[in-house]
Amino acid sequence: MRVLVTGMGGELGTRVAQLLETRPEVDEIAGFDFMPPRRRLRRATFKRIDPRDRDRLIGFVTDFAPHAVAHFGVYEPGSRMGPREAAASTEACTVNALGAAQRAGHLGRIAVRSGLEVYGRGRGHPLVPDEEAPLAPTTPYGRTCLEVESLALGIGRRHDVPVGALRYAVVAGSHIPSPLGRVLRLPAVPVPALADPPFSLLHQDDAARAMVEMLVQGFEGPLNVVGPGASSPWQAVRLGNRIPIPVVGFGWELAAEVAELAGAPIPPHVVELLRHGRCGDGARAVAELDLGSLRPTQEVLVDLYEWATVLRLEPTRRVA
């Protein structure tokens, strides 16, 4: 099986490529992104292509003629790009890569990255949506994720290709760049003054494992992938020994401006998470993809705060 990994330069794309390299049923792996992978890949081929460079992207995908696509070219605003650039790159990557993969003639399955943001949050939205919950995103990133799912489904329906969508909780970990992670690591963190809504996290390794299993098994349909348990803004901030700054109403816009100056932009879907929470029912993914135990949200949170811990290793013997 030849597998194309879009967005291979990101932490998740690279990790998926590494896991695919260990699978005997995968013969060839190729991927592209606007930046190179940060980890060593042994079998996979990487090409540095900006997702908006349509001709180069289509040429690369057509030459590779994949049997399966792991679509990680879904760029979260505030992660490595600004909101507009992220939305434009995601759309270009989805349309061009999936379209070219289908036209190459061997495509047998598609798995796309999506997020719990597709369910929306706030009044009138379920607290812990399962896969049957109505799709009603309330943020630009949620709408982008839903658009990616719709585009992939459209291609899948027209050409009889099974499409799976992984609706991730916020993916976090020690070294994954995420806007929520950056905000929580600030010395002072904005939190809702009059509420403390729950949110769940997902460890980057579990997110990558879920994608590999979905791709190898050819699962069709959406699955929520969520770390067990939850945290809340106040609890997370105190756990990280940060200072909570209570915010209400329009104060969130000011908080976002200040945080951006401090190097941690807070895009609307992260503001929504802090104000209204974000959880999901991930039981079906664990059962269908046989994922075993996922790392609990609280462990992911600890991992997030321990990212900068310096371990001083004493030499076992002195050589000079």
Partner 1 sequence: MTVPVPNYGLDTDRILATDSLPAALRRRLRGQYAVDEFGADPHLMDLSAGLAPLPVTVEHGEYVPQVGPALLVANRGLGFLEPLAVVRAVRVACGRRTRVVGAPEVPVLGDALRKLGAIGYRPDDVAALLRAGNVAAAPLAPTWFRSGPGEPPRALLVATLGFPVLPVAIQPGFPFGRPGRPWRVRFGEPLFPPAGTGADDQLAAAELAAEVQTRVQALLEDRS
What is the signed CA dihedral for 172, 275, 223, 77, rounded to 10 degrees? Answer: -60
Distances (CA, A) of 100 to 20, 53, 94, 228, 301: 22, 13, 10, 37, 39
Distances (CA, A) of 30 to 48, 101, 179, 287: 11, 12, 28, 29
Nearest distance in Å: CB 126, partner 1: 5
**Does 277 sit near partner 1 (CB under 8 A)?**
yes
Residue from the set 218, 235, 251, 258 that interacts with partner 1 by CB under 8 A: 235
DSSP 226: -
Residue from the set 4, 128, 210, 274 that interacts with partner 1 by CB under 8 A: 128
**Does 123 sit near partner 1 (CB under 8 A)?**
yes
Among the residue ranges 39-47, 71-79, 103-111, 236-244, the one whose residues contact partner 1 (CB under 8 A): 236-244
Task: Note the maximum CA span of the chain.
Answer: 69
Question: Which residues, 6 or more positions from 194, have their beta carbon under 8 angstroms from its beta carbon?
Answer: 248
d(CA 125, CA 132): 13
User: Residues 183-202 vs partner 1: string with x where CB under 8 A?
Assistant: -----------xxxxx-x--
Among the residue ranges 76-84, 110-118, 154-162, 296-304, the one whose residues contact partner 1 (CB under 8 A): 296-304
Among the residue ranges 31-39, 42-50, 143-151, 302-310, the one whose residues contact partner 1 (CB under 8 A): 302-310
The site for partner 1 (CB under 8 A) is made up of 123, 126-130, 133, 194-198, 200, 228-232, 234-241, 277, 279, 281, 283, 296-299, 302-303, 306, 309
